[in-house]
A and B are shown apart, each in its own frame.
Chain A
Amino acid sequence: MNGPAELDGPAVLVVDDEAGMRDTLVAILEHHGYRVWSAPDGETAFSAVQERAFDVLVMDIRMPGRDGVSVLQEMGKPPPQVILMTAYAREDRLRAAAAADVFAVLSKPFELRRMLRLVAQASRDNK
């Protein structure tokens, strides 16, 4: 887990096994003033959530090892606001709906403006 030490924006954890996706999302969110951490897989993300509190979790559903949904299920309450990302729209939407308590599901590729709007809403709601 990597992340900035001291900034005052909302804390966001980006979880994606694709390095390109993960790094660009981190850069974009940081550009918009968020304090961003990232994790390459479900296991790491789970540890990170145990370690510290996040306002928003932006997580890919399909990942090797533990996937996004199983991480969510084990995280326990109160979880941060969760935005799930998927490249497999229909099936993963259903799985995400089963996991409940999800703030939003984004189909890849998504409009960045929409993603930023959702993250902003989620961080406000979590305050």
Chain B
Amino acid sequence: MTGSNTPRANSMTGKRGKRWPLRPLSAVILLVLAAGAVASSLITQKVVEDQERLILREQTAEVAAVVGSAFAGAQSSLQLLGEIARSDQGHPQLFTNAARAVTTTSTQAWLVTTQSGTSLKVTAATGDGPAVGQAVSGDQGTLARRALSAKGLVSGLVRDGGTLRLAFALGGAAGPGTVVWQESAISPTTPTPTGPTSPFHSLNVAIYLSNHPDPSALVVTTTKGLPLAGVQYPFRVGADTWLIVASSSQSLVGSLGQDMPWLVLGFGALTAVLMTAVIETLGRRRDYASALVEERTASLRSAIAEREAAQADLNRQENMAAIGQLAATVGHELRNPLAVVTNVLYLMKVGSKADANDPIRRHIATAEREISAATRIVSDLLDYAAGRGPILAPVEVCDLVAEALSVVPPPDGVQVVQRGEPQVVDVDRDQIRQALLNLITNAYDAMPDGGVLTVSTISEPGSAQITVTDTGMGMDEETRDGIFTPFFTKKARGIGLGLAVTKRVVEAHGGTIAVRSMPAAGSSFTLTLPVVAAMVSASQ
């Protein structure tokens, strides 16, 4: 296995192209949970508000009950004072004394009025109010007439000079046509704060002598911030309907209740983040694991492929080695018989007539050509099988080319051109000459109808190039791809080892061989040899 054991981070994110901070699943979960947290928070807030409203309503009702019971006391006081006034028999002092006994600091006046024709006159009085014998009119008159017609206590605001008074009036309490009064000074625009010990200290309250929050009917308030936005609670005081408007000055459900929506939101947000983190972590872990598995699988596959290729290579090498062994054995065994036949042919030739037209002479010549062809095959086989490394010595390239050309004279119709500049390279003379011989004889074979063989040498820094070019039949692509393969041949004669040997020899010198060829356009083989050959161990 090549490469590291861990997948790189970018190999995982690379698939998505762009790197997002979260995986899509995690992002969706985060959004859903966050939305849930917000919704929970809103619901909690609504519940808390409802609870707040409910408590406010209850407390307001309690306030109304307290206020109502206070006024119920006022009604019984007026009833009692009326009885006293009715029975005083011309002694208004009795009423005055009794009234003083129930007077509180806020009470301004107690009085009795009696209807006399269309007017109303004060018949008994105490405190800072109208005097006995005075007629009442205006607000007081309106209130007194209402008291006479109504059943039970009536209440109203009366103006007496510059002061505003809250007046309670009970009709008929001192006999028919009489009204018994109580007046108290009030200052509705001045807030009356509730003390911290009051059970209602957490409320802002405004009380109106009306069934709606009419500023001119305001009786008392605990705050300047009017009108109040809060609960409206109408309640009966005697024959009239009063109104309490109340709002909370602080949380009625307690600070925990107040904070609950935020706690829910915070907790929800925390849960969302934690869940997202967990899912993101699990997801990344899974991605990491699958990336790891993928990479391991890929490297395993490539390792298997490499091994198979190596095995195939080894098999091929073993096959070639076996073939080489066979070739060497057969080649050696053929050498002696070939040599003997050569000798015999020689003896036959020297023993025959010296006439070139003698049929025996011609048969011997044919046999000699065949023997030399067989000898060449054996030499190719043995060269291939030998596969020895080159033994290097300085050689001048042009000399070597000339030597190779002289060994095999050109067939009829083939012109040979040699050109190039001298250069000395370190090569195995025998091996490179053999390589050149193979190329030259191939070139001759490719030009059965004649042509031009050009062998040119080019000197370059560090290397020498030898190019063998013919004007022969050329090769198609399939042939060109196969020519360096051992035992590949398109010739009628030969076993296909020449170019395989040539290639091996050149590569053993650290050189290269290249071929350019087109059908009917000739072929060109170029050997490139390093000036100082890199020693490459010859492979079998």
> Contact at B347–A31, with CB atoms within 8 Å?
yes
B332–A88 contact, CB under 8 A? Answer: yes
A89–B383 Cα gap in the complex (Å)? 10
Which of B336, B346, B382 is within 8 Å of A89, CB to CB? B382
Are A28 and B347 in contact (CB-based, < 8 A)?
yes
Query: Judging by beta carbons under 8 Å apart, are A24 and B347 in contact?
Result: yes
Known A88-B332, A90-B386, A109-B375: A18·B346 in contact at CB below 8 Å: no
CB <8 Å contact, A108 and B336: yes
Tell me whether B343 is interfacial, beta carbon within 8 Å.
Answer: yes
Q: Which of A75-115 contact B (CB under 8 A)?
A: 87-90, 108-110, 112
Q: Tell me if B332 and A21 are in contact (CB < 8 A).
A: no
Task: Note all chain A residues with C-beta closer than 8 A to B337.
Answer: 20
Does A25 belong to the interface (CB within 8 Å)? Answer: yes
Q: What residues of chain A lie closer than 8 Å to B386, measured between beta carbons? A: 89-90
Bound Cα distance from A20 to B338, whole angstroms: 11
CB-contacts of A6-27 with B (<8 A): 18, 20-21, 24-25, 27
Contact, CB under 8 Å: A18 / B336 = yes
Residues in chain B near residue A110, CB distance under 8 A = 339
Whether A21 contacts B335 by the Cβ 8 Å rule is no
B332: A residues at CB distance < 8 A: 87-88
Q: Answer whether A18 and B382 are a contact pair too, CB < 8 Å, given A24-B347, A31-B350.
A: no
Report A-chain residues with C-beta under 8 Å of the C-beta of B335: 87, 108-109
The A interface, classified by DSSP as helix, strand, loop or mixed, is helix
Complex CA–CA separation, A116 to B339 (angstroms): 14
Contacts of A31 in B (CB 8 A): 347, 350
From A20, which residue of chain B is reached at the shortest CB distance? B340
Please, which residues of chain B bring their CB within 8 A of the CB of A112? 342-343, 346
A24-B336 in contact given A89-B382, A90-B388 (Cβ < 8 Å):
no
Bound-state CA distance A87–B343 (Å) is 15
Interface size on A, residues (CB 8 A): 16
Docked complex Cα distance between A27 and B349 (Å): 13
B388 near A24: Cβ-Cβ < 8 Å:
no
Which of A24, A89, A90, A109 is within 8 Å of B338, CB to CB?
A109
Known: A89-B382, A109-B335, A112-B346. A18 touches B388 (CB 8 A): no
Contacts of B343 in A (CB 8 A): 20-21, 24-25, 27-28, 112
Q: Would you call B344 an interface residue if the criterion is a C-beta within 8 Å of the partner chain's C-beta atoms?
A: yes
Which residues of A lie under 8 Å from residue B339 when comparing CB positions?
A: 21, 87, 108-110
Nearest CB of chain A from residue B404's CB, rounded to whole Å: 17
Complex alpha-carbon distance, A113 and B332, angstroms: 22
**Residues in chain B near residue A87, CB distance under 8 A:** 332, 335-336, 339
**B336 partner, pick from A21, A28, A90, beta carbons under 8 A:** A21
Q: Give the nearest-CB partner of B350 in chain A.
A: A31
Q: Which residue of A lies closest to B332 (CB)?
A: A87
Of the candidates B336, B371, B386, B388, the one having the most CB atoms from chain A within 10 angstroms of its own CB is: B336
* Mask: chain A, 53-65; 1 = CB below 8 Å from B; 0 = not: 0000000000000
Contact B382 A21 (CB under 8 A): no
Contacts of B340 in A (CB 8 A): 18, 20-21, 24
Query: Which chain B residues in 308-350 approach chain A with CB under 8 Å?
Result: 332, 335-340, 342-344, 346-347, 350
Could you say which residues of chain B place their CB within 8 Å of the CB of A24?
A: 340, 343-344, 346-347
Chain B 343-381 interface residues, beta-carbon cutoff 8 Å to A: 343-344, 346-347, 350, 371, 375
Chain A residue nearest in CB terms to B342: A109
Q: Which residues of B contact A90 (CB under 8 A)?
A: 386, 388
A85 → B minimal CB distance (Å): 8
Q: Say whether, besides A90-B386, A90-B388, A27 and B336 are in contact (CB < 8 Å).
A: no
Write the nearest CB–CB distance from B453 to chain A, whole angstroms: 24
A27's partner among B342, B347, B375, B388 (CB-CB below 8 A) is B347
CA distance A109 to B343 in the complex (A): 9
A59 to chain B, nearest CB (A): 14
Q: How far is the CB of A23 from chain B (nearest CB, A)?
A: 9
Rounded to whole angstroms, the CA-CA distance of A18 and B340 in the bound complex is 9
Cβ of A108: which chain B residues have Cβ within 8 Å of it?
335-336, 338-339
* Complex Cα–Cα for A108 and B375 (A): 9
Contact A28:B346 (CB < 8 A) given known A87-B332, A89-B382, A90-B386: yes
Expressed in whole angstroms, the minimum distance between the Cβ of A50 and any Cβ of chain B is: 28
- Closest CB of chain A to B286's CB: distance in Å? 65
Cα–Cα, bound, A21→B343 (Å): 8
Closest chain B residue to A21, Cβ basis: B340
CB distance from A28 to the nearest CB of B (A): 6
Closest partner residue, chain B, to A116 (CB atom): B346
Q: Please, which residues of chain A bring their CB within 8 A of the CB of B347?
A: 24, 27-28, 31
CA distance A31 to B351 in the complex (A): 9
Q: Mark A23-46, 1 if CB is under 8 A from B, else 0.
A: 011011001000000000000000
A89: shortest Cβ distance to chain B, in Å?
A: 7
CA distance A21 to B342 in the complex (A): 10
- In the bound complex, what is the Cα–Cα distance between A21 and B335 (angstroms)? 11
A residues less than 8 Å from B371 (CB atoms): 109
* Complex Cα–Cα for A27 and B346 (A): 10
Bound state CA distance, A14 and B347, in angstroms?
17
Max chain A CB contacts within 10 Å: which of B337, B340, B371?
B340
Chain A's closest residue to B346 (CB) is A112
A112 to B350, CA, bound (A): 12
A109→B373 CA distance, assembly (Å): 12
Question: Apart from A24-B340, A87-B339, A109-B371, what 15 extra A-B contacts exist at CB < 8 Å?
Answer: A18-B340, A21-B336, A24-B343, A24-B346, A25-B343, A27-B347, A31-B350, A87-B332, A87-B335, A87-B336, A88-B332, A108-B335, A108-B336, A108-B339, A109-B339
Q: List 13 A–B pairs whose Cβ atoms lie within 8 Å, in order of A's numbering.
A: A21-B339, A21-B343, A24-B340, A24-B347, A27-B343, A28-B346, A28-B350, A87-B332, A88-B332, A109-B338, A109-B342, A109-B371, A112-B346
Interface residues of A (CB under 8 A from B): 18, 20-21, 24-25, 27-28, 31, 87-90, 108-110, 112
Q: Which 9 A/B pairs are nearest by Cβ-Cβ distance?
A: A24-B343, A109-B339, A87-B335, A20-B340, A108-B339, A108-B335, A109-B338, A112-B346, A21-B340
